[in-house]
């Protein structure tokens, strides 16, 4: 490393902010003088590149709460703790958390969901969409993938349609907002999707865009030295900081404060990009949050002991007595439990349920907005960092690859006060109706499925999209039988019947009850496809063996009674795994639309809502566009 900074640094870097930051980082305390090795050694002297390095440092400094000085100081402490084997949960005793678990079709489910339906018109939506679909074999933003092949509805399109359906329940003329967190990778693809599709029916002013920064510096050793690009010694390697940034971005841009003050929003739901079942249980979550006065409510699914998914756990501090109900990562949960007398056997399944008593966190969170905003004012939305270096050997001195500090959105309970911490809980429902993320390539998914783990592929995500409505209908009493399993490119799925309900038809189970008033008169064969859109469609009696598409416009009443449909229908046809189309290749099949019965009812009456969803490209896309 150079023994001193370059002479005439002021002349080399005339910008005072850039120069001061470089000098601070290269100080003995922060130890980043190696950033100037290439310049001082004279091997590739380039003043312009030095200034470019300073510009990158300023951007990174502004993108991290507290700046790079804080980042280095935190990193050194966390890396020292990691090397020393310090347990971040030391001093916290685990116990089974308090929350609500629900079984579909019970009175408890219906009553709680009904309470939540009253709150649906007061919800703001926050979509965390910072990732590309590279793991899936898809080059675009994941929200641009289709949720299923039957209608081709994209994830962002489905989310928008749900928001519009919920918005129609308002009687004050105000809209329900959607905030999308994008990254450098997903910003342009996301904006392009919105432009080309006229915001999928949403009004431009109800969409807010917040952007993560350029990430944080990658770290090469326990002294938190920044990683330098081997192909460009004047550039620092960066890595994503994590989805926990969403809280600080919402605070920085004043998004949720505006929602509360101008739009009368009372609750906020935070969800991720490719879980097409995300909103089926949203009214249930809202009902539980209202009933218990939760500041934060996590949607959970039953979790097998030692399953590779975080477990919601109540932690009690042995010194202060403070309680936290928070996600504990699966690799930390078992050793934490084994360290106690009560759970000395570790994470084991309960004999009565067959599941761990610690429910699985799926990172769909509901917040009471007034309480949330008060916490943001105090904390500025900064979540605690953690580091997870992968060491080459037991000396814990050399990393296998550069690491970085990370933060997670579900760590919100860790910044709550003692009083606030008592208002955190969970709502648990079956994964089959609320959780089916699409995140893995076919080959990776096949390995997981062979181990008995949900594969999380496009094919299984689509199959689960069809399965959830079948589950809902059967709980009402409809005669809906599953097709036999099939295998597409090594992934086993149940292909049908393929049922797709638009959110305007029914937002949740409670609304389906009104749509199927005589469920015993509804029969759907395993090979069938049923698509229904329209807020005033009612299906009294139907015998379906084939494909039926019901497409009704706003306020167009359609009642289906004594209808028998039998046709060749739509058939899933396997394709080779080398298909040129990404969305086909990741699924392993296409749909052959052989024969369809269609019921259309569009009166073209205006719905009273002015259309301002068109995009003016002359206006920059910033917060709220």
The CATH number given to whatever domain includes residue 233 is 3.90.550.10
Q: Is residue 256 part of a domain?
A: yes
Statement to judge: residues 181 and 212 lie in one domain: yes
Burial 172-196 (b: 16+ CB within 10 A, else e): eeebbbbbbbbbebbbebbbebbee
Q: Is residue 120 part of a domain?
A: yes
Q: Is residue 54 part of a domain?
A: no
Statement to judge: residues 345 and 473 lie in one domain: no
How far is C-alpha 111 from the geometric centre of its chain's CA atoms? 27
Q: At which of 439, 474, 496 does a domain end?
A: 439
Low-confidence ranges of the chain (pLDDT < 70): 1-4, 42-45, 577-580, 604-625
Statement to judge: residues 279 and 392 lie in one domain: yes
Statement to judge: residues 404 and 492 lie in one domain: no
Total domains present in the chain: 2
Q: Is residue 605 part of a domain?
A: no
Statement to judge: residues 428 and 529 lie in one domain: no
Structural domain range at position 519: 457-600
> What distances in angstroms separate CA 354 from CA 16, 301, 350, one per listed residue?
63, 13, 5
Q: Is residue 342 part of a domain?
A: yes
Q: What is the pLDDT of residue 621?
A: 34
Q: Is residue 62 part of a domain?
A: no
Statement to judge: residues 221 and 341 lie in one domain: yes
> Any idea what the CATH number is for the domain that residue 593 is in?
2.160.10.30
Contacts of 549 (CB under 8 A, 6+ apart): 531, 596, 597, 598, 599
Q: Is residue 138 part of a domain?
A: yes
Residue 594 tokens read as 């052989």
Stretch (H or E) spanning 428: strand 424-428
Q: At which of 439, 465, 499 does a domain end?
A: 439
Q: Is residue 492 part of a domain?
A: yes
Statement to judge: residues 335 and 283 lie in one domain: yes
Q: What is the pLDDT of residue 72?
A: 97
Q: What is the pLDDT of residue 47?
A: 81
Chain segment 308-347, per-residue pLDDT in tens: 899 999 999 989 988 999 999 988 999 999 999 999 999 9
Statement to judge: residues 210 and 239 lie in one domain: yes
Statement to judge: residues 306 and 271 lie in one domain: yes
Q: Which residue in this structure is represented by tokens 């699985």?
A: 360
Statement to judge: residues 369 and 482 lie in one domain: no
Return the closest-CA partner of residue 132 out of 36, 256, 274.
274
Return the closest-CA partner of residue 88 out of 277, 327, 308.
327
Contacts of 330 (CB under 8 A, 6+ apart): 306, 307, 308, 309, 310, 311, 347
Q: What is the pLDDT of residue 619?
A: 33
Statement to judge: residues 191 and 262 lie in one domain: yes
Give the number of C-alpha atoms closer than 13 A to the C-alpha of residue 116, restricted to the C-beta side: 30
Exposed/middle/buried for residue 252 (C-beta within 10 Å: 0-12, 13-18, 19+): middle
Rg value, the chain, Cα: 26
Q: What is the pLDDT of residue 4?
A: 59
Statement to judge: residues 506 and 362 lie in one domain: no
């Amino acid at each position: 490393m150079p023994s001193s900074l370059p002479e005439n640094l002021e002349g080399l870097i005339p910008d005072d902010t850039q120069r001061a930051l470089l000098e601070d980082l290269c100080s003995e305390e922060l130890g980043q003088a190696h950033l100037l090795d290439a310049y001082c050694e004279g091997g590739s002297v380039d003043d312009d590149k030095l200034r470019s390095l300073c510009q990158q440092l300023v951007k990174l400094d502004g993108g991290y709460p507290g700046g790079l000085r804080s980042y280095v100081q935190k990193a050194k402490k966390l890396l020292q703790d990691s090397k020393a084997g310090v347990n971040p949960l030391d001093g916290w005793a685990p116990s089974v958390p308090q929350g609500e678990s629900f079984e579909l079709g019970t009175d408890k489910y219906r009553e709680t969901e009904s309470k939540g339906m009253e709150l649906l018109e007061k919800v703001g939506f926050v979509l965390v969409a910072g990732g590309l679909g590279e793991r899936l074999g898809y080059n675009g933003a994941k929200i641009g993938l289709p949720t299923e092949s039957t209608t081709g509805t994209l994830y962002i399109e489905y989310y928008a349609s749900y928001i519009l359906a919920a918005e129609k329940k308002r009687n004050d003329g105000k809209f329900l907002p959607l905030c999308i967190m994008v990254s450098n990778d997903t910003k342009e693809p996301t904006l392009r999707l919105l432009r080309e599709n006229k915001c999928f029916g949403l009004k431009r002013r109800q969409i807010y865009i917040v952007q993560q920064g350029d990430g944080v510096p990658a770290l090469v050793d326990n002294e938190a030295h920044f990683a330098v690009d081997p192909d460009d010694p004047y550039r620092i390697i960066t890595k994503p900081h994590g989805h926990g940034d969403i809280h600080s971005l919402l605070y920085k841009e004043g998004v949720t404060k505006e929602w509360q003050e101008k739009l009368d929003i009372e609750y906020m739901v935070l969800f991720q990009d490719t879980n097409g079942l995300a909103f089926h249980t949203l009214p249930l979550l809202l009902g539980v949050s209202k009933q218990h006065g939760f500041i934060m409510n996590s949607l959970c699914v039953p979790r097998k002991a030692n399953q590779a998914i975080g477990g919601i756990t109540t932690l009690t501090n042995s010194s202060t007595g403070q309680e936290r109900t928070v996600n504990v990562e699966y690799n930390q949960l078992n050793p934490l439990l084994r360290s106690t007398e009560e759970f000395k056997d570790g994470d084991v399944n309960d004999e009565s349920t067959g599941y761990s008593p610690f429910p699985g966190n799926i990172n769909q969170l509901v917040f009471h907005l007034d309480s949330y905003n008060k916490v943001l004012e105090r904390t500025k939305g900064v979540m605690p960092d953690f580091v997870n270096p992968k060491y080459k050997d037991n000396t814990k001195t050399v990393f296998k690859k550069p690491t970085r500090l990370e933060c997670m959105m579900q760590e919100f309970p860790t910044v709550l006060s003692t009083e606030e911490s008592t208002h955190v809980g969970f709502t648990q429902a079956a994964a089959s109706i609320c959780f089916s993320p699409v995140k893995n390539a076919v080959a990776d998914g096949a390995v997981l499925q062979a181990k008995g783990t949900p594969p999380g592929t496009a094919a299984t995500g689509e199959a689960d999209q069809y399965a959830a409505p079948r589950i809902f209908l059967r709980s009402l009493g409809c005669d809906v039988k599953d097709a036999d399993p099939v295998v597409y490119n090594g992934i086993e799925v149940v292909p049908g019947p393929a049922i797709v309900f638009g959110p305007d038809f029914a937002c949740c189970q409670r609304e389906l009850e009104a749509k199927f008033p005589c469920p015993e008169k509804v029969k759907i064969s395993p090979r069938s496809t049923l698509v229904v859109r329209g807020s005033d469609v009612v299906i009294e009696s139907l015998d379906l063996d084939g494909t039926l598409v019901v497409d009704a416009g706003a306020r167009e009443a359609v009642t289906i009674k004594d209808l028998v449909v039998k046709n060749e229908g739509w058939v899933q046809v396997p394709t080779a795994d080398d298909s040129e189309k990404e969305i086909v290749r990741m699924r392993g099949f296409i749909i052959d639309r052989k024969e369809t019965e269609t019921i259309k009812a569009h009166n073209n009456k205006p719905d009273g809502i002015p259309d301002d969803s068109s995009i003016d490209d002359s206006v920059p896309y910033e917060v709220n566009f």
